[in-house]
Structure 1
Amino acid sequence: MPTYAPPPGWPREVRPPDAPDWEATAASWLLDLCPAEYRRYAGLRRHVVVLARFAVLHVEAQQMACRRGLSQIRADLKDVASLEVVEAAVQTFRLDEARLLATRRSVGLVEDALRGRRYVARL
């Protein structure tokens, strides 16, 4: 009986590579990360590796938007919000940046597994 061991950073919503129905759980999770409209595209649902590539690009676009927001938020809000509110907005961007970094790693791991890459547990 095989032991399925995902690499560190693997999303808990997705079964480990080669486990029964793991690709179905991967597709479901990837669709949850993407815009709702992606569910309408049969090609993305049929070809999970293509969906994974779309998800990687979508998460990377979110990361770029977050970095842009972080770089501009103080100037954008200085005339309309108190310093306390501006700093709270900065903190929100920083938290989202950390979340997106972890998400990008997870999406990349799923994409790699869909492309056939497997990880070996090290002792």
Structure 2
Amino acid sequence: MTVDSDFDEEHTVHWRISANRVGRIVSTSGQLYLTDNYLVFSPYPTGFGDVRETGIPFAGIRSIDVVKPGTRGVLDTILKGGFRTRIRIELENDREELFIVHDVDEALSKIRNAIHA
């Protein structure tokens, strides 16, 4: 689901962190936001990767966990940030989103607390 680019006016941002959203081949740098009902990734305007703002409704999240480094094979490790621990969000439509953040434990805790509030 895509959220309007001016979502700050429609949604209260409770927390944000710099993050990379892992794509098929490239990761995109930006900000990960928590609002009342969404986890939103807003990419920096670099011209590379998927530059659309993406909002994930809390109701559409099936589970949240982490992917440890090197656990998904060589290509994932080399191309998709697999040298670092990533946050994995499994969606109700069987897709997944992967995010690389500096403080995985803090981000995981904030996201889980927001979803279960």
Please give the TM-score of this superposition, normalised by the length of structure 2. Answer: 0.32
Higher-strand-fraction structure? 2
Which structure ranks higher in relative contact order (CA pairs < 8 Å, sequence separation ≥ 6)? 1
Report the structure number with the largest CA radius of gyration. Answer: 1
